[in-house]
């Protein structure tokens, strides 16, 4: 996206982000964390978006992949393991179970994230297996796997211009 957007109100609180529409036409979202500029999310053209940034589920996968990679890198560095590079490939799918007894009354689906981790370097098999097991302990993985409490509030203050 070549345009430069400025978004100063509201400023995200520490540990938070602000997501705002770029306009009320289309789905492009401006993402603000207080430090980084010109981050966007959008939907693909096939569903009416402008494809100006990753789709929401792609952002979710990027968060998981980057946290996993950072966790593995920190561990390998701390133990001085010969890990040269980490590449993580992720995919999100929904599997609708066909054996649901009440399929007409309740919508059930299984969310599935496939994560493939490539570890490059002269690691032993034991080191690779240890890092693979550690992937499930990255903070974003733990958040996604836990029961998350959502608190949604309506902001009734003056509209943002």
| Domains along the chain with CATH numbers | 1-53 (no CATH), 56-145 (3.30.300.20)
More confident residue, 66 or 104: 66
Who contacts 108 (Cβ-Cβ below 8 Å, separation ≥6)?
Answer: 96, 97, 100
User: Which of 85, 114, 110, 80 is closest to 98 using CA atoms?
Assistant: 110
C-alpha distances in Å from residue 136, one per residue of 21, 72, 82: 33, 10, 21
Element (H, E) at 75: helix 56-78
Q: Is 83 helix (H, G, I), strand (E, B) or coil?
A: strand
Mean pLDDT calculated for residue range 100-109: 62
Average of per-residue pLDDT across 17-45: 87
CB-CB contact of 95 with 109 (8 Å): yes
Contact 63, 88 (CB under 8 A): no
CB 112 within 8 A of CB 50: no
Say whether pLDDT at 72 is over 60. yes
Q: Are 68 and 88 in contact (CB under 8 A)?
A: yes
Full strand arrangement of the beta sheet holding 39-41: 18-21, 29-32, 39-41
Cut 0.75: pTM above it: yes
Predicted confidence band of residue 159 (pLDDT cuts 50, 70, 90)? low
Q: At what angle do helices 125-135 and 56-78 cross, to 10 degrees?
A: 140
- Would you place residue 26 in the very low, low, confident or very high pLDDT band (cuts 50, 70, 90)? confident
Mean predicted confidence (pLDDT) in 40-47: 93
Query: What pLDDT is attached to residue 101?
Result: 56
Q: How many percent of the chain have pLDDT more than 70?
A: 83
What pLDDT score was predicted for residue 104?
Answer: 63
> What is the structure's pLDDT at 1?
43
């Amino acid at each position: 996206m070549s345009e430069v957007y400025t978004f100063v109100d509201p400023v995200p609180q520490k540990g938070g982000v602000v997501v705002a529409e770029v306009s009320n036409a289309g789905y492009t979202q401006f993402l603000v964390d207080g430090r980084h500029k010109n981050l966007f999310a959008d939907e693909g053209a096939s569903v009416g978006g402008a494809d100006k940034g990753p789709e929401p589920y792609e952002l979710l996968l990027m968060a998981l992949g980057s946290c996993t990679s950072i966790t593995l890198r920190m561990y390998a560095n701390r133990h001085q393991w010969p890990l040269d590079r980490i590449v993580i490939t992720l995919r999100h799918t929904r599997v609708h179970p066909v054996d649901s007894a009440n399929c007409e009354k309740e919508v059930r689906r299984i969310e599935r994230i496939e994560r493939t981790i490539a570890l490059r370097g002269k690691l032993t098999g034991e080191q690779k297996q240890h890092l693979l097991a550690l992937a499930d302990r990255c903070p974003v993985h733990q958040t996604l796997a836990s029961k998350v409490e959502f608190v949604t509030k309506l902001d009734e203050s003056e509209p943002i211009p």
